[in-house]
Structure 1
Amino acid sequence: MNNKNKYIFKILLLILLIVPIYSAKAYGGVINMDINGSSVETIEIIALLTVMSLLPSILIMMTSFTRIIIVLSFLKNALGLQQTPPNQVMVGIALFLTLFIMSPVIDEVNVDAYQPYKNEEITQQEFFTKASEPIKVFMLKQTGDSELKMFMDMSRDEKLKSTKNLQELPLTIIIPSFVTSELKRAFVIGFLLFIPFLIIDMIVSSILMSMGMIMLPPVMISLPFKLLLFVLVDGWSLLFKTLITTFNF
């Protein structure tokens, strides 16, 4: 481990030590926990830290982020670009497109769940129930019937198999069904993106072979033409518009 990695490790270790202490002070001093571990405040802090650690997974698995980032990766490979745009730019684009698409859901969660909970009008259990409802509605609208039926059939709970109201399904069924549907749609869109650029590669390769220029890599010639085609059709705007319109609201 080099010096830089040791320095980063020490900072992370220090943060892990400081955060519980700071959280305990924020709750009014040192929290006394009995032998049975029944301190409610301690459990709330642990739950809060757990949710914070799971935020990246929640962002990826319960929003439109998965479909967008996969399609952008397919586009990058179809164009034949290695380092442009950088991965940080692609993730940033996917993140802000996700915020744009999910803004109605976020607003609904804020009004129906967060604000009442902040004002101490509802309990934590009610907050979780009200916050999960709009997210469930969004995911169910994007989830295919075949994927949802597959996970319902694989469930060991017989009541879930006969459930008619899909919103009553638990997140353990809805989330994997939603992710499977998102992967399927993202790969379909990626396949359609590859077709025009693949045709350009085939045309350039055929021309080079007919001219006897076998040693010249076709990618070097086809790349400028693929970039020109993408710019002429206003590819970024067309792609973003198509991605946004593929989501059901």
Structure 2
Amino acid sequence: MNPLGLSQQLTEAGGTGGLSAPMQIALFLGGMAFLTSALVTLTAFTRIVIVLSFIRRALSTQEIPPTPVLLGLSLFLTLFVMGPTFEQVEKHAIGPYMNKELSAEKACVEAWTQLRKFMIRQTRASDLKLFMEMARLDPVEGPDDIPARVMIPAFVTSELKTAFIMGFCIYVPFLLIDLVVSVILMSLGMMMMPPVIISTPLKLLLFVLVDGWPLLLKSLSSSFQ
């Protein structure tokens, strides 16, 4: 199955060499737009960016770190996590295609095969079963027989579920700090003072003392192994 939807006619024409310049530009721009969607749905980016967003909300620091910083960190951590997979894609698909050993269609199939190996390791069997039933497909013999239209949404669903579980585990300790501060302020009769004024510095102090960022990034990277 060709997950990128490249036409057989394009392959038979030997890539884009037989197309006019405007058509080649249109295909290039379309491919760039597809890469954005592929980054979110076919890689570790979704889990990473959601967990990092949870930690910012748990710390009650509003826009600190700034959104561009979180997105940039998520992107490069995704490249770190996906490094072995991308190396296999380059070895089995991109390299042979650039050397004209594979056609465009076969290169896309090889690239999808390597991505699917990563995705299947991170996808829950229950999510795969759900989308197989929704698609009204018969049970398959192995992962190689799972169609992309089932594999991709099942993978994204599993990533969302895992990200929210990790976010909950991160949120609970900081929530306890908010509760303790609120109780102390009420017992002192300082009900008009917003608890966040006291709890935010305490949460930042706790996060720094436990070396939060390295610990968080290490846990995120390890969650994909």
2:173 to 186, 196, 199: 196
Alignment pair present for 1:69 and 2:28: no
Task: Give CA deviations for 1:188-218 in whole Å, capped at 9, x if unaligned.
Answer: 0111111110111111111111110111110
Secondary structure of residue in 2 paired with 1:214: coil
Pick the structure with greater CA Rg: 1
Q: Distance in 1 between matches of 2:25 and 2:57?
A: 43
Moved over 3 A (4+): 41-48
Letter in 1 for 2:36: P
Percent identity for Structure 1 against Structure 2: 48
Whole-Å separation in 2 of the counterparts to 1:27 and 1:170: 30
Does 2:154 match 1:177? Answer: yes
Give SS of 2:221's match.
Answer: helix
Structure 2 portions without partners, runs of 5+ = 1-15
User: 2:69 aligns to what?
Assistant: 89
**Shift in Å at residue 139 of structure 1?**
0.4
Structure 1 Cα separation of the partners of residues 50 and 168 of structure 2: 11
Partner-residue secondary structure (3-state), 1:54 = helix
Q: Which runs of 5+ in 1 are unaligned?
A: 1-25, 32-40
Q: In the alignment, which residue of structure 1 is the partner of 2:3?
A: none
Distance verdict in 2 for CA 1:177–1:55, change over 3 Å: same
Tell me the CA shift for residue 104 of structure 1.
0.4
Structure-2 separation of matches of 1:80 and 1:91: 18
So what's the TM-score if we normalise by structure 2? Answer: 0.89
User: What's the RMSD between the two structures over aligned residues?
Assistant: 1.8
CA distance in 2, matches of 1:202, 1:27: 65
Q: Distance in 2 between matches of 1:76 and 1:230?
A: 11
Residue 44 of structure 1 deviates from its aligned partner by: 5.7
Aligned-residue offset at 1:165: 1.1
2:198 maps to 221
CA shift at 1:49, angstroms?
2.8
TM-score when normalising by structure 1: 0.80
Compare relative contact order (CA 8 Å, sep 6+) and give the higher one, 1 or 2.
Answer: 2
Task: Give the Cα–Cα distance (whole angstroms) in 1 for the partners of residues 142 and 23 of structure 2.
Answer: 33
Q: 1:42 to 1:133 in 2, by over 3 A?
A: farther
Structure 2 counterpart of 1:247, one-letter code? F
